[in-house]
Structure 1
Amino acid sequence: MRQLVSSGSPYEPQIGFSRAVRVGSVVAVAGTAPVAPGGGVAAPGDLHGQTLRCLQIIEAALAEAGVPLANVIRTRVMLTDVSRWQEAARAHGEVFGAIRPASTFVEVKGLIDPGWLVEIEADAVVEAGAAA
């Protein structure tokens, strides 16, 4: 079984990717940027707010794939300014403090939109015995 999940991002058809892909018990969530619900950049200049927005989008994609946020096993947080990592870490901890997935924070030269300060990927698994 291969399930594709879209978030409605205009980049998905242009680039040729899905927000998330579920194959069997594994769900991979693509790099997720802080896109506001109506388009544009969510929380301009606010790294904490942008990180929370990315995680909201990830949570919605996982829910559509039938997987709760608690099943996330890995995140990758890409920052345009790693000196501000604690702002992103605070948001990550607010969401994943009890879940504690493996996580990596890295600095990147830039993201597609210069207003994006962060982009996040996530991997999750379906619990044993859950319906596929």
Structure 2
Amino acid sequence: MAPLSPFEEQAGFTRAIRVGERIIVSGTVGVEEDGSVSPDAGRQAERCFEMILGYVAELGGQSGDVVRVRMFVTDIKDADAVTAAFSRALRHARPTGTLVAISALYDPAWKCEIEAEAVIGAGQ
């Protein structure tokens, strides 16, 4: 997969990669297509899931193939909004999920970061 942001090239990592039947999507933040960031944690999480599911599809998977999600929030008060976005995006797949509060993300505007793994053919 071609780099999706200049930061990937600068830092030397890949946002999403397929290894055999596994798709691994690294930490994704809810930056909108125009570069803006919503002040709402729920919208940031929705955007994360939009991008994650797009990466999974681009690499040959589907939303039902997602088997694990890790969600990081900078304020535990945002946990319900982020969990609601998770449920809307992936309730049908029933992946494992972890949500933890952390002290900060790279940009103070970012309220959540989400990573995911999928297995081609899991199709839950």
Does structure 2 conserve the Cα–Cα contact (< 8 Å) formed by 1:78 and 1:106? yes
CA RMSD after TM alignment = 1.3
* Number of matched pairs: 122
* Amino acid in the other structure paired with 2:106: I
Report the 3-state secondary structure (helix = DSSP H, G, I; strand = E; otherwise coil) of the residue aligned with 2:92. Answer: coil
Shift of residue 69, structure 1, vs aligned partner: 1.1
Question: How does the TM-score come out when normalised to structure 1?
Answer: 0.87
Contact persistence 2:45–2:82 (CA under 8 A) = yes
Q: In structure 2, how many angstroms separate the alpha carbons of the residues matched to 1:98 and 1:23?
A: 24
Any residues of structure 2 matched to 1:1-132 within 5 Å, and which? Answer: 4=1, 6=3, 8-41=4-37, 43=38, 45-127=39-121
Following TM superposition, by how much is the alpha carbon of 1:83 offset from its aligned partner in structure 2, in angstroms? Answer: 2.2
The superposition leaves residues 37-92 of structure 1 with CA deviations (integer Å, 9 ceiling, x where unpaired) of 02232x2x201100000001101111110110110000000000012200111111
Structure 1, gaps ≥5 residues long: none
Amino acid corresponding to residue 65 of structure 1 in structure 2: L
Structure 1 contact 50–117 (Cα < 8 Å) conserved: yes
Is the Cα contact below 8 Å between 1:5 and 1:20 reproduced in 2?
A: no
Counterpart Cα distance in 1 of 2:11 and 2:54: 21
Q: Quick one: which amino acid aligns to residue 20 of structure 1? A: A
